Structures are given as structure tokens and as C-alpha cells.
Amino acid sequence: MHLFLFLLFGSFCVGGAVNLLIQRKTINSALSLIVVMGSLALIYLLLGAEFVAVVQVIIYAGAIMVLYIFVIMLLNAGEEEPSKGSNVAKIFGIPGLFTGGIIGIWVLLQHRPAEKLIPIGALYGPADKVGMMLFTKYLLAFEVTSILVLIAIMGAVVLARRSNS
């Protein structure tokens, strides 16, 4: 049952990602990205990391993607114009994709025996455990990230501020 659900949500995720690339309309691509985020959250849920799953939905699907959609609506971005005359993608892209894919698979196969396989449902991630980890073991990383976010917020305020002229 778990394996079936994993395959189902995994195929949603990959399908959404492929659809994101091949769609011409910006809004359809954005919607496919939401599908990707949602199915990733469901896979986290299958692994037992319920807090991470819900946060994934709230932050990515509920906040960040809303802003994407917002921008698309404001700019009213229509259909993309397919570019003609560029053969770079055909000459380098397809061989590059193959080489990259083969290297990726090779690396994964090389490392697979060394890594421990995680069975589905093995990660137990309730909110209090995650919070404990953030405020003890990973405190430095957490604080550094918060400073980074603060800088980003201030940058956004400076950029959005009206000039006094």
C-alpha cells in the first residue's frame, strides 16, 4: 500500500515537473509547480515527517506560489514565443542531458550500498522533535538563516520604498 502510494505521488511529482517545462502558458506552468509541491508534501507525509509535510504546503504551495500567481496575474503574462534559429539546445542540450543523466545514475548506484535505505514511515518528525533539533543541534545554522532572511526583508523594503523626488 505504501509502495503504491509512493509510486502514485512520485509519478504526480515527476509528471507535474515535466508538464511545468513543456507548457507554453506561464499560468499552467505555475499550476504544475503547485502539483509538484503538493505531491512532495504527500511523500514527506508517507515518510512520517508530518510537520515538514504541512510546512511544505503552507510555505511553498500556500505562500510562495501564491506570489508567483500574483505576479503572473499582474503582468498578465500570456503565451511564450518559441524562439527560432537557436541550434545550441539541439546540439549541446540532448547529449548534455544524456551525459548528466548517466553520471547521476552512476553516482547514485555507486553510493547506494553505503547509504542506509530509509523505509517508508521510518522518519518520525512531530513538531516538538523538529523544534528541539532546530534550537539545540542546528542552532547556529538556524540563526544564520534568520539573519539572511532579515537582510532579504530589508532589501525588499529598500527596493520597494518610494523615492523622495
Partner 1 sequence: MSALTFLIVAVIKIAVTLGVLLTVVAYTVWLERKVVGRMQNRWGPSRVGPFGLLQPLADGIKFLLKEDLTPPYVEKNIYLLAPGLALIMALTSIAMVPIGPIIHLFGISTPVQITGVVDASGQASDINVGILIVLGITSLGVYGIALAGWSSNSKYSLLGSLRASAQMVSYEVSLGLSLVGVLLMSSTLSLSGIVHAQLGTWFGFIPQWYIFRGQFVAFFVYMMAAFAETNRIPFDLPEAETELVAGYHTEYSAMKFAMFFMAEYANMVTVACIASVMFLGGWSGPPLLFLPAAVQAFLPLIWFSSKIFFFLFLYIWIRGTLPRFRYDQLMAFGWKFLFPLALANVVVTAFFVAIRA
User: Which residue in the set 14, 18, 73, 139 belongs to the binding site for partner 1 (CB under 8 A)?
Assistant: 73
Question: Checking phi first, is residue 98 left (phi over 0); if not, alpha (psi -120 to 50) or beta?
Answer: alpha
**Smallest gap from residue 79 Cβ to partner 1 (A):** 11
Q: Does 55 bind partner 1 (CB under 8 A)?
A: yes
Work out whether 14 is an interface residue with partner 1 (CB under 8 A): no
DSSP state of 81: P
DSSP track, 104-145:
HHHHHHHHTTTSPP--TT-----HHHHHHHHHTTTHHHHHHH
Q: Which is nearer to partner 1, 6 or 68 (CB)?
A: 68
34 binds partner 1 (CB under 8 A): yes
- Asked whether position 88 contacts partner 1 by CB under 8 A, the answer is no
Side-chain-side CA neighbours of residue 112 (13 Å) = 7
Q: Which residues bind partner 1 (CB under 8 A)?
A: 27, 31, 34, 50-51, 54-55, 57-58, 61-63, 66-67, 69-70, 72-74, 126-127
